[in-house]
Structure 1
Amino acid sequence: MQRERVLKSGSALSALCLSVLALCNLSGTAAAVEAKNAAGSLAPSAIVIDEDNRLSRDQYARANGMSAAAVAGRFGATGIVRCGSAAGTGQLVGASNVLVTAAHVLFSPGGEPRGEGASCTFQIDAGGRRQVIPIIVDKVVCGAREPYAEPAVKDWAVVPLASSVSGAKPYMPAKMSVPGDVVLAAAARSGGVESYSLQRCKARKVTATTPSGLREVAIDCDAEGGVSGAAILSPSGGLVGVYVGFRSAHPGQAGPFSMSHYNFGVTAEGSLRQAISQVVSRNTQSASVAP
């Protein structure tokens, strides 16, 4: 359910850490473990920066002086992606029948879909009821169908749903400021446990950039298995990125943000922004991605 790579001085080395979240050691030097995972039987421990500051939606509303309805309207397009035995987070973006998540939530390490039809669904509470809608995996537009074998900047997916979600306002893509304030909106935790959370945190540092303009960004938000694919939002509710994974020299142990202990995501720019526009235009006549 997860791939781990050893990192040293910010560069990937050709070594594979075989034990789940064991701290690798190369030539006697401790190195950071990179992991991308969809929550399942081998979900990792939470990667916590300082302390776990994730809040429920009600807690977030009270902490930020917002009504529950305002929080639901701004951050209510997030739900759980269940595909085969994996569970992660996804969200409606650009249209009520277009889902954005991390590619590794939908595809196994060998590049095969984790599920299809009724075994690959988007689950969301909206419009006063729970809606479970099949994901049309064979129409996905993604950075890589084998995300475990590719750089993290390719670990994103945009895919149509079999029908529209009613009662939820889709997020619209926006530009991430780095450094800058963000909100991480997740729907699950390790083991695929349903757990909606919001956390106000910061985008801290750009760690990679693609020719298309998509950026990989280190964030000081808290995350774990099941958060993969979660929306990184602006405080006003615009989609600025998608959570992918973590890099840490001490996974499972809380610690301050550093370049050897951080979570990261990719921005809703470049090839990802283009894919959102493409899938929205193919699957709806009325919705469009904001410029």
Structure 2
Amino acid sequence: MQLQRVFQSSRALPALCLTLVAACNLATPAGALERKNAAAGDLPSSAIIIDEDGRQTRDEYARSKGLSASTVSTRFGATGLVRCGSAVGTGQLVGASNVLVTAAHVLFAPGGEPRGTGDSCTFEIEAGGSRQVVPIDVDEVICGAREPYAEPAVKDWAVVPLANAVIGAKPYMPAKAMSVPGEIVLAAAARAGGEENYSLQGCRARQVTATTPSGLREVAIDCDAEGGVSGAALLAPNGGFLGVYVGFRSAHPGKVGPFSMSHYNFGVTAEGSLRQAITEMVGRNQSASVSR
């Protein structure tokens, strides 16, 4: 499933077409036209590619960074697929082996109802030498908004418990605050149409586009992404958890172009209310495990 949204920001934007849900006739600002690229016609309409597609497989990433495959698997191995109803996105273990962080719109449909419950809402991951499929307990979610389509994008995050712990994966641990500008790694598990496709990309956090009273920031990034990447981890090069990919804003979605404030992907940082939610969920699940 391609997850489509209209995103809002607390910072005023030029008149752009910011949605894939329906066509709009807003004027494109001067200088926003993309460079012509022969590959652009082959991209899904939700693909926001900056200059060229820089996503790599884990093995390709390992070779490019001079790392062993086992190091990359350990450092970036907490990412997996989130399936909830008909939606497919990305999520990751953060802080504990039974705590999942993703984008709220992967779990909740327009109107605020969960996209799925029980066995129809799961986290899938290759870990410990096997494929593990673990139900997500959507009823116990802590999130920025249960109706993320109606709220600013800074609220589009969710921290949710798993029915049981994943065995053999090292959870990402919250890192120090994301430096902007600064180096990041985008770790995703799917592409448009719900296709399972793990990728890593070294890229940059470029500009803060919104800030909440709690200190959580929305940040424009020059990573490449498309439908299925929603909820993916924004990581430090050492694997520390910095935030969650949410979506894009573009005057020409589906066409390659340089990074600009009319063509970018963005995420929210693991600060403020999101960091508090992770701490609370990890503590809650640890207490539950001890009491059993």
Same-fold call, TM > 0.5?
yes
Deviations 1:153-188 (A, max 9, x none): 000000000000010000011120000000000000
Equivalences for residues 89-238 of structure 1 within 5 A: 89-174=90-175, 175-238=177-240
Matched, 1:83 2:74: no
Count of residues in correspondence between the two structures = 272
Provide the rounded CA distance (Å) in 2 between the counterparts of 1:69 and 1:213.
Answer: 35
Q: Give the aligned residue type for 1:25.
A: N
- 1:90–1:230 Cα contact (<8 Å) kept: yes
- 2:132–2:166 Cα contact (<8 Å) kept: yes
- 1:244–1:266 Cα contact (<8 Å) kept: yes
Q: Give the aligned residue type for 2:54.
A: N
- 1:6–1:12 Cα contact (<8 Å) kept: no
Aligned to 1:40: none
Matched, 1:241 2:247: no
Q: Give the aligned residue type for 2:170.
A: K
Q: Secondary structure at the match of 1:4?
A: coil
Distance 1:249 1:163, change over 3 A: same
1:284 Cα shift?
A: 1.5
Provide the rounded CA distance (Å) in 1 between the counterparts of 2:278 and 2:8.
Answer: 32
Distance 1:5 1:209, change over 3 A: closer
Identity across matched positions, percent: 74
Matched, 1:30 2:22: no
- 2:121–2:135 Cα contact (<8 Å) kept: yes
Q: Secondary structure at the match of 1:254?
A: coil
1:45 Cα shift?
A: 2.9
1:6 Cα shift?
A: 8.3
- 1:207–1:217 Cα contact (<8 Å) kept: yes
Q: Secondary structure at the match of 1:3?
A: coil
Q: CA RMSD in A?
A: 2.2
- 2:5–2:21 Cα contact (<8 Å) kept: no
Q: Give the aligned residue type for 1:3.
A: R
1:20 Cα shift?
A: 3.7
Aligned to 1:283: 285
- Give the TM-score of the pair, scaled to structure 2: 0.88
1:286 Cα shift?
A: 10
Provide the rounded CA distance (Å) in 1 between the counterparts of 2:253 and 2:93.
Answer: 30
Q: Give the aligned residue type for 2:143.
A: C
Aligned to 2:50: 49
Provide the rounded CA distance (Å) in 2 between the counterparts of 1:267 and 1:253.
Answer: 27
Q: Extract unaligned runs of 5+ from structure 1.
A: 33-42
Provide the rounded CA distance (Å) in 2 between the counterparts of 1:168 and 1:21.
Answer: 40
Aligned to 2:73: 72
- Give the TM-score of the pair, scaled to structure 1: 0.89
Q: Extract unaligned runs of 5+ from structure 2.
A: 33-43
